[in-house]
Amino acid sequence: METKDMMMTSMLTMDKEENEGDRDKGKDEMVGEEEGTQRENGRLMLADGLAERGPKSLTSGSGQQVSNGFTTSTPQSPREGPGTAASSGGTASVPGGGTGSTVPMGGLRTLVVQQTSLERPRETWSKKMDFLLSVIGYAVDLGNVWRFPYICYQNGGGAFLLPYLLMAVFGGVPLFYMELALGQFHRSGCISIWKHICPIFKGIGFAICIIALYIAFYYNTIMAWALYYLLSSFRPTLPWTTCTNSWNTANCNRYMSSDHNVSWSNSSTSPAEEFYTRQVLQVHLSPGLHQLGSVSWQLALCLLFIFTIVYFSIWKGVKMSGKVVWVTATFPYLVLLVLLIRGATLPGAWRGVVFYLKPDWEKLLSTTVWIDAAAQIFFSLGPGFGVLLAFASYNPFHNNCYKDALLTSSVNCLTSFLSGFVIFTVLGYMAEMRQQDVDAVAKDAGPSLLFIIYAEAIANMPAATFFAIIFFLMIIMLGLDSTFAGLEGVITAMLDEFPHILVKRREWFVFGLVCVCYLGALSTLTYGGAFVVKLFEEYATGPAVITVVLLEVIAVSWFYGTNRFCNDIQVMLGFYPGFFWKVCWVAICPCFLLFIIISFLAFPPEVRLFDYHYPPWTTVLGYCIGVSSFICVPAYMVYHLLNARGTFKQRLLKSITPEPSSDNHRDFIVTNAV
């Protein structure tokens, strides 16, 4: 700081002596001097001969500079100090604060301050559409296809849309908007961003990274199943349509209306079910979680292929993955449209649509419906996984993240609604063929809905091979861009936290991360791997990530301060968030998240898969997996307080005081004074 003060004083003295006789010159001459500034070979050459390091441009006119190094024409927030000009006879404050940051101007009229940065320029999206497609691809995943339709018909059909929309407006979308704004303003991943918000909560970032790893351990296995189905679809007769294969049992029966000689009993199984359970999963070879069995080499190869695609899509950064999502995020919509048209032309399709949307208003009186609506919109939009922070951090500073949040969250909700028609037109067709009620056909949720019921329906359509290929391609695409996003959240967080070690070694770090994810997923590739997938899905991610997001909202709204956060948004976007958003961030969103957490603890899910009921010890194991990620939050709080200096009160005060973004590798130098 002493060096900075001496530099400022000497430069002010020099300029004052040189311009003693020119004090009364007009504004035009001053502008002419500013226009004399020129760039040469990455160095800023000033008209008075002073050279300044750094790529940032000189501020002029109405432009101001904010704490993270970007120029803005909007009013500064109170914490960022005044702009770049001071009136005659006043004082000019140099952003960054500290000793000597206020310089008496005397008769000087203008002080031009240049902010320089020694940081490596941050990567940005090649196009705005790359960012939007990446966010849409992340938000629209497999849960939109299998979970929303099932939850909707189970909770009152069309009546469920009311609690779903209310939870989206007051809970999901505000959280979505908050994360995009935070990431874009602070330009940091989910770990390093906390030193600019509330340092003691930095453990949230580490917890998010562990949760992302748990998701990668099981989520990609579902894509490996879909890839197995895809490769099996390149046959004239799909293998899950007949009972004459080596994996079929004596209980295998086709029970479509065309098979008049088939007698169906309670012990009978369909060929699609036996293909899924006995050939793909081979779950019959494992008695349960206590004995998983060997690794299936077919699934191991399928998963290796999936992770190879993932690696070469994200190893170079968002410029590479932003191009890949043009395929992975748009192709599913094309397939959904084709399947919707095909499903609408099938006999009995109307039965499925009526069953899907027929409102049962009495169910709105049940607490379960509101719990399901809150959980569905939360996991569908996906705040709290570090992905939105990472993606937004690569945006231009003045990008309108408000419109982005409204657009992408609306697309996500509409996709879920559209997927319901795609699924239930086919379920209505299955009910017509089997001469059963739709609820008897739609009793399965989760992957079984796709890999058994929908696969069997496709097998009984004309041109079954074509529809099977595009359907399972769609499943893989839906999973891939969500995986890109999840791992990018971890990569961005680690690169921002350890830039000197990892930035120049990104390819090797990504390779190591993908290898860790593959090795962690081996347990899901065993004969009992489906049991592990279900355990991770129920316990490892749900309660932990909701609790983490609750702490995130509290840290931003109550510690960092809603007013300060809204000022940051005003600096970026040029307008102040409305009263609705402030109320949501301060009160409604915490209540929304607390409601989900309490309901989960009060009504723990009964976990079962096929005929296997999870024993009590698996519940303890599941909670231990969930706590293993969340424990990072209190552990880091203790670590931070123990390593801080001063009295306990001083430590506590420092731990909740955000550090200005300008403190890191940034400098402010007076370059020209008139």
Burial class (CB in 10 A: 0-12, 13-18, 19+), 100: middle
First vs last C-alpha separation in the chain: 24
Phi, psi angles (nearest 5°) of residue 244: -105, 15
Q: What is the helix, strand, coil percentage profile of the chain, to 5?
A: 65, 5, 30
Per the annotation, binding residues for Na(+) are: 137, 139-140, 144, 380, 412, 478, 481-482
Q: How far apart are CA 422 and CA 274, in angstroms?
A: 24
Q: What is the DSSP letter of 612?
A: E
Phi, psi angles (nearest 5°) of residue 295: -80, 135
Which helix (H) or strand (E) is 609 found in, with range? strand 608-609
Q: How far apart are CA 210 and CA 636, in angstroms?
A: 14
Q: How far apart are CA 343 and CA 425, in angstroms?
A: 5
Pair 516, 213: CB distance under 8 Å: yes
Per DSSP bridges, beta strands 64-65 and 71-72 are antiparallel
Identify the three-state secondary structure at position 603.
coil
C-beta atoms surrounding 591 within 10 Å: 12
Pair 342, 564: CB distance under 8 Å: no
Reported as half-sphere exposure (CB side, CA atoms, 13 A), residue 578 has a value of: 3
Identify the three-state secondary structure at position 355.
helix
Burial class (CB in 10 A: 0-12, 13-18, 19+), 137: buried
Q: How far apart are CA 312 and CA 480, in angstroms?
A: 12
Pair 33, 109: CB distance under 8 Å: no
Pair 373, 164: CB distance under 8 Å: yes
Q: How far apart are CA 620 and CA 641, in angstroms?
A: 31
Q: How far apart are CA 411 and CA 644, in angstroms?
A: 46
Q: How far apart are CA 468 and CA 327, in angstroms?
A: 19
Pair 488, 318: CB distance under 8 Å: yes
Per the annotation, binding residues are: 137, 139-140, 144, 380, 412, 478, 481-482
Residue at token pair 């009013």: 75
Burial class (CB in 10 A: 0-12, 13-18, 19+), 365: exposed
C-alpha distances in Å from residue 592, one per residue of 141, 373, 374, 458, 603: 23, 11, 7, 39, 17
Question: Which residue from 123, 114, 122 is spatially nearest to 43, judged by alpha carbons?
Answer: 114
Hey, what are 131's tokens?
């960012």
C-beta atoms surrounding 128 within 10 Å: 13
Pair 109, 87: CB distance under 8 Å: yes
Question: Which residue from 306, 647, 661, 343 is spatially nearest to 471, judged by alpha carbons?
Answer: 343
| Partners of 91 in beta bridges | 104
Reported as half-sphere exposure (CB side, CA atoms, 13 A), residue 49 has a value of: 3
Q: How far apart are CA 146 and CA 373, in angstroms?
A: 15
